[in-house]
Structure 1
């Protein structure tokens, strides 16, 4: 048996080796994170898009008999075309509207109709709104001079927001291209995900966690983004048919509100008020108001049907994860939050259900007795 001093030196040396190795591993991990951090959002979005589109990839591959890479390229190209066409039309419409408004303002031909007398009788905001509207219809130039100092700061803020939206759109395009690469190697990627999850949580729970993460991402894509897109179409069609000014921009606002889990009524109710104020209460405006109001609340019916579908956790867990992730991490947190909460929920109930059996209790008692 070794002397105590020798044993202590060996133990101290072993502890020092462990600490040095742990420090080197930590330095390596931090260095890798710093190198990878500029591409983190890009890769997360690419992973989300790849997981979302992969069932479509497999379906097209089975029907068309093409290779994985060819099918992935086809999906990316079609998605880019579907994105570019409406964005180009929207940008052109916005540019024409701005140029037309500037030309009308310079020529002094910008004519704002007088408000309906019933506007003044609206509670709380009726009289101030009527006075503001009346002044704009009578003397718009003086009103713009009063508002110009406030509009300047608002305009700069809007330009900053638009620049951020443009950068986000470019990031989304790049992520879509990388997602095509992920889909081309989807089988290897799924196998790697299962191996990583099994290495972390064991061979029994690893495949379950990998499948749960995949299903949660797809459920959020269908139940949040999909519902917001459907709601945008329902409301946008009504806006276009009714001839609402800036119908495309308002419909885009409905889409953004749906993604941010905010009620579309924030847009639909002011539009309904605008229609009644300008066109009065007719059969057409009443039908428009009812339809638009119902369409603005359609997410309350669609969410229970689509959100959490195919996920082995309750729908409120996915919804809370989406809302919490959105608040803490922005749009990307909309997907990461539900995944983390769903995995935590599953592991928690695995731990709760893993109760010690009577045989385990007897073995523990025998161990204590000996």
Structure 2
């Protein structure tokens, strides 16, 4: 018995080591497949073929979601690389600090002194802080390199999700068999429905709303000529998942429009209104997408997103929020003696 168990553990560890580099990608592809599967079934009913419907959804996702995400996130890398090269070439212009900064208690005077020296003798300041600046530059450049890998995983995950959806019915049967094996035949179907409903609730009501908001903010900032568009996109995405008002990300963009922009008064007014609407669009999107099925408390979503981002980058932020929400729901179902909450589910949402 112990020999069999030991061999099983060794095999499991060996298989995990092989699969680990693809774990985040496959989990996000599975989340996409489960979320989009009802739409794929309706589309397949119209087109007559499962693989054709999955292909159409994948192409639409790559065009509407992946392409803007790659563009906005790539701009972050370009901004970081440009900043690092400007610092190395001593071409950065630092304005004079405001006098009122010196009056800020505790830290105001220290910041004022460093800022003042940066505006008058930036090369000397860089030379005095060379070890720290060198480490920061290396970290920033490694961040740019890792973002490229995350973007590639993000694109590939859409393609893998399409393959999974093409075999959706078989996948649903296998999922039910696994759940029956783990939780028993009496509770296996409840576990599958609970996990499916949680994935769709988080993906549509939290990640979906945050993603749409971030895309709106990014597109408007790009059209308005705001620099570092990718930074506003990522900040808006993080704030949206954390359920913090996204207007905190659009406010600096609005300030830049009026202080540094050259779009004229009419253009600034139009872009300001557009950014305000984008920052508050969750008030319209949440009633449409949130609350379908079951949802986890927002602290669980936030911790999952932040932990996933630290552990696996931007893609891990999406996977972490969904995975921790599933874990929370399964744990609470176990606390309630295994009685999973009743999930309102349409026939088309099964699978």
TM-score by length of 2: 0.71
TM-superposed deviation, 1:213: 0.6
More moved, 108-117 vs 142-151: 108-117
Identify the match of residue 342 of structure 1 among 324, 329, 350.
329
More moved, 221-230 vs 35-44: 35-44
What pairs up with 1:265-344 in 2 under 5 angstroms? 267=249, 306-307=289-290, 309-311=291-293, 313=294, 315=295, 317-326=296-305, 330=311, 331=316, 332-344=319-331
- Separation in 1 of the partners of 2:273 and 2:148? 35
- Separation in 1 of the partners of 2:49 and 2:181? 31
Q: Does the alignment pair 1:224 with 2:206?
A: yes
Give secondary structure in 1 for the equivalent of 2:292. Answer: coil
Counterpart of 2:7 in structure 1 is 27
Counterpart of 1:38 in structure 2 is 18
Identify the match of residue 51 of structure 1 among 18, 25, 34.
34
Counterpart of 1:172 in structure 2 is 154
Decide whether the 8 Å contact of 1:319 with 1:338 is kept in 2: no
More moved, 88-97 vs 150-159: 88-97
1:210-252: CA deviations, max 9, x gaps?
1111111111112332122233245446645665432332222
- Separation in 2 of the partners of 1:169 and 1:119? 40
- Separation in 2 of the partners of 1:55 and 1:152? 50
Q: How many residue pairs get matched?
A: 324
* Structure showing greater Rg: 1
More moved, 288-297 vs 71-80: 288-297
Counterpart of 1:14 in structure 2 is none
Taking structure 1 as reference, are residues 322 and 237 closer, same or farther at Cα in structure 2, changes over 3 Å only? same
TM-superposed deviation, 1:158: 1.7
Give secondary structure in 2 for the equivalent of 1:245. Answer: coil
Unmatched tracts of structure 2, length 5 or more:
341-351
Decide whether the 8 Å contact of 1:115 with 1:277 is kept in 2: no
- Separation in 1 of the partners of 2:300 and 2:207? 15
- Separation in 2 of the partners of 1:347 and 1:24? 29
Unmatched tracts of structure 1, length 5 or more:
1-19, 354-370
The CA RMSD over aligned residues, in Å, is 4.3
TM-superposed deviation, 1:269: 6.4
Decide whether the 8 Å contact of 1:216 with 1:318 is kept in 2: no
More moved, 290-299 vs 165-174: 290-299
Q: Does the alignment pair 1:159 with 2:141?
A: yes
1:235-289: CA deviations, max 9, x gaps?
446645665432332222322454466775775566677778879xxx9999999
More moved, 253-262 vs 97-106: 97-106
- Separation in 2 of the partners of 1:293 and 1:119? 29
- Separation in 2 of the partners of 1:299 and 1:326? 18
TM-superposed deviation, 1:161: 2.5
Give secondary structure in 1 for the equivalent of 2:143. Answer: helix
Counterpart of 1:365 in structure 2 is none
Taking structure 1 as reference, are residues 131 and 30 closer, same or farther at Cα in structure 2, changes over 3 Å only? same
Q: Does the alignment pair 1:190 with 2:172?
A: yes
TM-superposed deviation, 1:110: 5.1
TM-superposed deviation, 1:153: 0.5
Q: Does the alignment pair 1:61 with 2:40?
A: no
